[in-house]
Structure 1
Amino acid sequence: MTLLKRIPKVDKVLEWPGVRELLARHPRPTVLAGVRDVLEALRAAVRAETLDEGELDEAAVTARIERELARLTAPSLRRVVNGTGVVIHTNLGRSPLAAQVRPHLDEIAFGYSNLEFDLEEGARGSRYAHVENLLRELTGAEAALVVNNNAAAVLLALSALATGKEVVVSRGELVEIGGSFRIPDVMRQGGAILREVGTTNRTHPRDYREAITSETGLLLKVHSSNFAVVGFTAEVSSQELVAIGRESGVPVMADAGSGSLLDLSRFGICGEPTVQEFVAAGVDIITFSGDKLLGGPQAGIIVGRAACVAPLRRHPLLRALRIDKLTLAALEATLRLYRDERLARAEIPTLRMLTASAAELRARGRTILRRLRRALPPQIRLALVDGISQVGGGAYPLLELPTTLVAVEAGGLSPQELEERLRRAPVPVVGRIHRGRFLLDCRTLLDADLPLLAESLREVADLNPVR
């Protein structure tokens, strides 16, 4: 208990020169909270007999208080290094924006804009006009509208087109995705009446035809998101569903989910229809996400026939679901890149990561290794190993992308201890543990991440000196 007596009182600590400097930089209540937290942690360490005597020196305690203040004052929403290999990682913010988006975003964020002002007419305008022509140009659709996410887009379409009416959906497409978002629940919220057809694994055109009555408002096709039904299966294509809809005079809606505007099949990424294919098939209303395969900000994009989009524009729910000026600015700048497919693939991070070849990633891995080794102490050991990446974001659930991984070892730390320390670093690093090794995937490590990664690894080394 001798060490407990050495732990100073709060008022004494506040008089230390180093702590007075902290008081000059931070509000007194914040410094006071930091001091109390550190002193309580020191007492707990003494009781657990895990504290070295030197940790009670004034300099050591002051440094610890400074680290605690950095933690207390850090923003809750922070930059994270994604080393998981999941490209569209929902928990890590999905798709990072292209660098070309930043100038337009800065310009709109830090000044006034013509968000809802028609500069030609000198009168009130529509915020949706800033992206509608681009979406029509890129998809071939007659009309377009944007809301705050794809769930909102589906809800708005159902509310505007099918309230009080039956919506026919294949039983195999009644999905639940992240956050307990269920298609049947959204349909009920939108006032639509669910009419299931087919079975979990097989649905035929006749199932839709037999379900259509005078009460039918929509035929709905839903993206399967993050699962796949394989084996003895059958589903009705968009073209077949449109033909059935035309026969009966019932509009067809498709929830396209991740919303790809590029055909990625030549890169070995197959099975995901593009938005343009849905439009070409004659689907009346298509909804999809802006922040998944599109590689833009979170948004729910709606394209389709003008006669079907018009009721959505007039619906009172639209105001509650509208997107803000920053989302519009980021989405517009992203969509402009799609006017040149080569530019989009090279500059939009999600597309660049998804289409990187195994050879490119191996070469990138060697470059990353060289850069990190130059910046790190010897107790951080790095090696390259082969592995698999995933698309994420509810797209291509069965697809495995060959990749190169950086295996990291740090002194005597276990992979679990290393993972925890990196996750809690000032610049958090998130990787994965596989077969007893902590791994970082070169596919999802951005160039701008490397200095941050080196900084976090150096901190781990400082906390874990060579034994």
Structure 2
Amino acid sequence: MRQKNELLRAIPSVDRLLQHSDLKSWKEKNKKVTEVIRKVLDNTRSNILSQELELNEEIIDEEIIIKKVIKKLRDKSEPKLKQVINATGVVLHTNLGRAVLSEEAQQAVARVANNYSNLEFNLESGKRGSRYSHVEELLCELTGAESALVVNNNASAVLLVLTALAKGKQVVVSRGQLIEIGGSFRIPEIMEQSQAELVEVGTTNKTYSSDYERAIGEETGLLLKVHTSNYVIKGFTKETTNEELVDLGQKYNLPVVEDLGSGFLVDLDRLRIRASEIEPTVQSCVSSGVDVVTFSGDKLLGGPQAGIIVGRESYISKIKKCPLTRAVRIDKFTVAALEATLRSYYFGNEIEEIPTLRMLSSKQEEIHRRSEKVIAKLKSQLDSDIEIELHSGNSQVGGGALPTTDLPTANISIKASRINSKQLMDRMRDGKPSVIARIENERVLLDLRTVFPNQEESLISAIVGILRGK
């Protein structure tokens, strides 16, 4: 076994590696080849110098080094943000990007990406316009609100509203609504960031109108209601209604703000969903008299990531003038995608055109039929020792929406003797395309509710390739 110094001297040079035939095509299309080679060689030297055990001669093998270089070049040449097949059955999968845009929204984004646009230019007057004007009228017509504003996500929307309307003042909120959303993002911390003072009232399970009223004083800035969209409290409970809060707000001349979180624009009945919890629509909140309502664009709405604020003109106007508004404003792609999404609602085509709503409303029988066809194709290409079965199951809404509501579905279950379920999942995830599924009872489960029909052949090819060892 060679000593460290010998191995260091035997490392192939950059010039020598550049002449390798396997790098010829890479040199023609990638100007970073020399830089990548140097990084791989530097890493090789570091490994030799830090190695305490016996050093393996393979560490300086030219072919092995070339493979490492090509792998790094390939990794750098491919996008990190990749398309995946979501076979989990979770419709609004936060880790997989939540709502998928409709075709209309995709086309709208492409149009503004490929051309200049009138983002902040009024074509009628020839003067500067507002980027919010492209969606404000649609939002007002759809929700019944007097005015609207859109920022980059709902957390920003809540922070902006609190900053604009209650900075340095007290905000009264029920103790049972001090929620935490993904990433340990908590309402009390948002309140602190906005420089508003949190005043908790009631108990975890019961809060009355009188609890809010006792907390109102000269320093009170607003009354806040937070919809518990990612959990449900059942049993011995009492929640103050919107109408009761609105009466208090009017009595003491205080704005009432409700953070809906997800934000539905359609009734669950239209989607054929039987929810075990209440999911109010934005329209119902506005009509109840709530002054300001905030909700997400990329959850139940089925659009791009955005924080939507609707409500009374007097309050929205004040929010628009807040300096923080510019820091959290939306870009042209969000404007384009959101406008197209809202237009689907306006013309009554939302369930047919918006993928999120289409997936939520898919019937179990339809998913069952699709799954049977996929199973037949899998079995025709795989050995008989691989168990592929169809079972009834439940999909999930995801995205912190309707947490206890299950969507009846059909699951394709796969079990192979030569590879365990975790290994199969790992290889599916590392494939091209990457397939994300889930494991239950030592079987890999595929739920076609969240797999688009045009992805089925790719899904089949990926699984067959893995189980055949290709």
Q: Is the aligned partner of 1:344 residue 2:359? A: no
Post-superposition CA distance 1:279-336 (Å, at most 9, x none): 1101000000000000000000000011111101111111101000011001001110
Q: How many residues align?
A: 449
Q: Could you tell me which residue of structure 1 aligns to residue 141 of structure 2? A: 137
Q: Could you tell me which residue of structure 2 aligns to residue 313 of structure 1? A: 320
1:106, CA displacement in angstroms? 0.9
Relative to structure 1, the CA distance from residue 90 to residue 33 in structure 2 (aligned partners, 3 Å threshold; closer, same or farther) is farther
Relative to structure 1, the CA distance from residue 177 to residue 33 in structure 2 (aligned partners, 3 Å threshold; closer, same or farther) is farther
Q: Could you tell me which residue of structure 2 aligns to residue 412 of structure 1? A: 418
TM-score with structure 1 length normalisation? 0.87
Q: Could you tell me which residue of structure 1 aligns to residue 209 of structure 2? A: 205
What secondary structure does 1:404 align onto? strand
Q: Is the aligned partner of 1:403 residue 2:406? A: no
What secondary structure does 2:125 align onto? coil
Q: Is the aligned partner of 1:20 residue 2:24? A: yes
Post-superposition CA distance 1:395-431 (Å, at most 9, x none): 1111111111122345611001011111122322111
Q: Is 1:431–1:438's contact at 8 Å kept on the other side of the alignment?
A: yes
Alignment partners' CA distance in 2, 1:322 and 1:445: 32
Name the amino acid aligned to 1:426.
K
1:237, CA displacement in angstroms? 1.4
1:61, CA displacement in angstroms? 10
Alignment partners' CA distance in 2, 1:274 and 1:433: 34
Q: Is 1:380–1:457's contact at 8 Å kept on the other side of the alignment?
A: no
Alignment partners' CA distance in 2, 1:72 and 1:316: 39
Alignment partners' CA distance in 1, 2:42 and 2:107: 41
Report runs of 4+ in structure 1 exceeding 6 Å deviation. 10-13, 33-40, 60-65
Among residues 410, 430, 439, which one is paired with 2:436 in the alignment?
430
Post-superposition CA distance 1:137-157 (Å, at most 9, x none): 111111000000001111111
Alignment partners' CA distance in 1, 2:13 and 2:143: 64
Alignment partners' CA distance in 2, 1:61 and 1:190: 53
Q: Is 2:286–2:311's contact at 8 Å kept on the other side of the alignment?
A: yes
Q: Could you tell me which residue of structure 1 aligns to residue 4 of structure 2? A: none
Post-superposition CA distance 1:212-237 (Å, at most 9, x none): 11221111100213221111111011
Q: Is 1:38–1:64's contact at 8 Å kept on the other side of the alignment?
A: no
Name the amino acid aligned to 2:34.
P
Q: Is the aligned partner of 1:32 residue 2:22? A: no
Q: Is the aligned partner of 1:445 residue 2:466? A: no
Spell out the pairing of 1:38-57 with structure 2 (5 A cutoff): none
Q: Could you tell me which residue of structure 2 aligns to residue 323 of structure 1? A: 330
What secondary structure does 1:364 align onto? helix
Relative to structure 1, the CA distance from residue 381 to residue 89 in structure 2 (aligned partners, 3 Å threshold; closer, same or farther) is same
Q: Could you tell me which residue of structure 2 aligns to residue 276 of structure 1? A: 283
Relative to structure 1, the CA distance from residue 9 to residue 384 in structure 2 (aligned partners, 3 Å threshold; closer, same or farther) is farther
Post-superposition CA distance 1:15-67 (Å, at most 9, x none): 55444234334342376379879999xx99xx999x9xxxx998x99889766
TM-score with structure 2 length normalisation? 0.87
Alignment partners' CA distance in 1, 2:299 and 2:42: 41
Name the amino acid aligned to 1:160.
A
Name the amino acid aligned to 1:153.
A
Spell out the pairing of 1:212-223 with structure 2 (5 A cutoff): 212-223=216-227
Q: Is 1:10–1:35's contact at 8 Å kept on the other side of the alignment?
A: no
Q: Could you tell me which residue of structure 1 aligns to residue 239 of structure 2? A: 235
Relative to structure 1, the CA distance from residue 269 to residue 381 in structure 2 (aligned partners, 3 Å threshold; closer, same or farther) is same
Among residues 250, 253, 256, which one is paired with 1:246 in the alignment?
250
Post-superposition CA distance 1:363-398 (Å, at most 9, x none): 221233345556x55487633222111111111111
Relative to structure 1, the CA distance from residue 30 to residue 101 in structure 2 (aligned partners, 3 Å threshold; closer, same or farther) is farther
Spell out the pairing of 1:7-156 with structure 2 (5 A cutoff): 15-27=19-31, 28-29=33-34, 32=37, 69-156=73-160
Alignment partners' CA distance in 1, 2:89 and 2:285: 29
Alignment partners' CA distance in 2, 1:129 and 1:338: 18
Among residues 160, 181, 185, which one is paired with 2:164 in the alignment?
160
Relative to structure 1, the CA distance from residue 260 to residue 107 in structure 2 (aligned partners, 3 Å threshold; closer, same or farther) is same
1:114, CA displacement in angstroms? 0.3
> Structure 1: which 5+ residue stretches go unaligned?
none
Q: Is the aligned partner of 1:195 residue 2:199? A: yes
Alignment partners' CA distance in 1, 2:432 and 2:40: 19
More displaced stretch, 141-150 vs 440-449: 440-449
Q: Is the aligned partner of 1:288 residue 2:288? A: no
RMSD: 3.1
Relative to structure 1, the CA distance from residue 433 to residue 37 in structure 2 (aligned partners, 3 Å threshold; closer, same or farther) is farther
Name the amino acid aligned to 2:218.
S
Among residues 384, 387, 406, which one is paired with 2:393 in the alignment?
387
Q: Is 2:37–2:69's contact at 8 Å kept on the other side of the alignment?
A: no
Relative to structure 1, the CA distance from residue 127 to residue 176 in structure 2 (aligned partners, 3 Å threshold; closer, same or farther) is same
Name the amino acid aligned to 1:209.
E
1:360, CA displacement in angstroms? 1.7
Q: Is the aligned partner of 1:174 residue 2:181? A: no
Post-superposition CA distance 1:188-224 (Å, at most 9, x none): 1112111111000111111112111122111110021
1:14, CA displacement in angstroms? 5.4
More displaced stretch, 291-300 vs 31-40: 31-40
Q: Is 2:393–2:411's contact at 8 Å kept on the other side of the alignment?
A: yes
Relative to structure 1, the CA distance from residue 134 to residue 66 in structure 2 (aligned partners, 3 Å threshold; closer, same or farther) is same
Post-superposition CA distance 1:57-100 (Å, at most 9, x none): 98x99889766643342211111111111111111101110112
What secondary structure does 1:359 align onto? helix
Name the amino acid aligned to 1:247.
K
Q: Is 2:12–2:62's contact at 8 Å kept on the other side of the alignment?
A: no
Name the amino acid aligned to 1:339.
Y
More displaced stretch, 71-80 vs 9-18: 9-18
Relative to structure 1, the CA distance from residue 134 to residue 48 in structure 2 (aligned partners, 3 Å threshold; closer, same or farther) is farther
Q: Is 1:170–1:203's contact at 8 Å kept on the other side of the alignment?
A: yes
Name the amino acid aligned to 1:296.
G
Relative to structure 1, the CA distance from residue 35 to residue 166 in structure 2 (aligned partners, 3 Å threshold; closer, same or farther) is closer
Among residues 239, 260, 265, which one is paired with 1:261 in the alignment?
265
